[in-house]
Amino acid sequence: MVAPPVGEFVTADRGQQLCPGVCGSELTPADLGLPQGDPGTRRVAGLRREEVAASVAISHDYYTRIEQGRLAPSEPALEAIAHTLRLTADQRTYVEGLAQQADRRTPPRRRSNPVRPQLQRLLDQLIDTPAFVVGKYLDILAWNPLAAALLIDVDKMAPHERSYIRMMFTDPRMKDYYEDWESMARTGVALLRMQAVENPADPRLATLVGELSVSHPQFRRWWAARDVARQEFGTKTVRHPELGDLTVDWDGFQWAGDPDQQLIVWSAEPGSPTHEKFRILSSWIAATSPSAHDAPTGRP
């Protein structure tokens, strides 16, 4: 076998198993300019191998060997297949990573770096803005007092439990906290799969995926769906037990010192109800500590 993951991914997409309404999941031969034929005679959903091969202008045998993992596709062939199956930008990145992974005998493993003091200092100075740093596999590496008060008291968690994706499935409070928990959880799984192609030999990743797959059927089903996505901003509604609903805008900023670390900042329009609730929560923190700067901060 040369590139089984690449073959598995394009096979799933061709067979309408991925991202309904987005990529190749709703494609028909007519979409590719090919004869539709009699729908009643089709034994497979989506496109047949020969239809994809014809659209890409490669032989049926060549494409079959790609799907079966017996042949690593050339870069032009992979690009043509991605175009034919209408892959999203994130899916293209993912499948290209799978192809590059197949060319390496021993995929490299990047070590996690600690959060730099300068980044921690920035977190501490964001008194009225919830912010935290996530690393590989959505590990929560650092946070400020407002983020801990708004999301969860990370200081009281064991280091191995400080995982955003783990919390989404193992902490029952998360379903009450997020108004759209399922959407948030699926996005987390899709991002985790996106990261997995960059660190395929990491035993910690295998342990995390194995643990969540065994104990949580929803994670197992969504992981098997092979959806991939990378989000860098958005808006979500969270429910605080004392302050009620807060609608927050969030943005992720990659830290130049470590490509695996991302600064996540939650914000709200000045003068909005959510912004006022940020100020209220910040005042509560200040009232229970000598100063906002001296409140517990996220240092592992």
Domains defined for the chain, CATH in brackets: 4-102 (1.10.260.40), 117-294 (3.30.450.180)
294/77: higher pLDDT: 77
Q: Which are the contacts of 220, defined by CB distance < 8 A and separation ≥ 6? A: 212, 213, 214
List C-alpha distances in Å: 166 to 31, 209, 250. Answer: 40, 10, 20
CA distance 258 to 236: 27
Query: Over the chain, what is the mean pLDDT?
Result: 78
Q: 295 falls in which pLDDT band (50, 70, 90)?
A: very low
**Residue 130 CB partners (closer than 8 Å, separation 6+):** 144, 146, 147, 150, 151, 248, 265, 266, 278
Q: What is the pLDDT of residue 78?
A: 76
Question: What percent of the chain is modeled with pLDDT above 90?
Answer: 36
pLDDT at 18 over 50: no
Phi and psi for 144 in degrees, rounded to 5? -110, 170
Backbone phi, then psi, for 143, in 5-degree steps?
-160, 165
The most confident of 1-10, 176-185, 283-292, by mean pLDDT: 176-185
| Structure confidence by residue, pLDDT tens digits, 221-249 | 998 887 887 788 999 999 999 999 999 99
Residue-wise pLDDT tens digits, 60-76: 777 777 777 666 676 77
In three-state secondary structure terms, 263 is strand
Could you tell me which residue, 71 or 114, shows the higher pLDDT? 114
Evaluate if residue 299 carries a pLDDT over 60.
no
Please give the Cα distance from 62 to 168 (Å, whole number): 42
pLDDT at 16: 47
Q: Please state, for a pLDDT cut of 70, what percent of the chain lies above it.
A: 72
Does residue 139 register a pLDDT over 90? yes
User: What is the structure's pLDDT at 12?
Assistant: 59
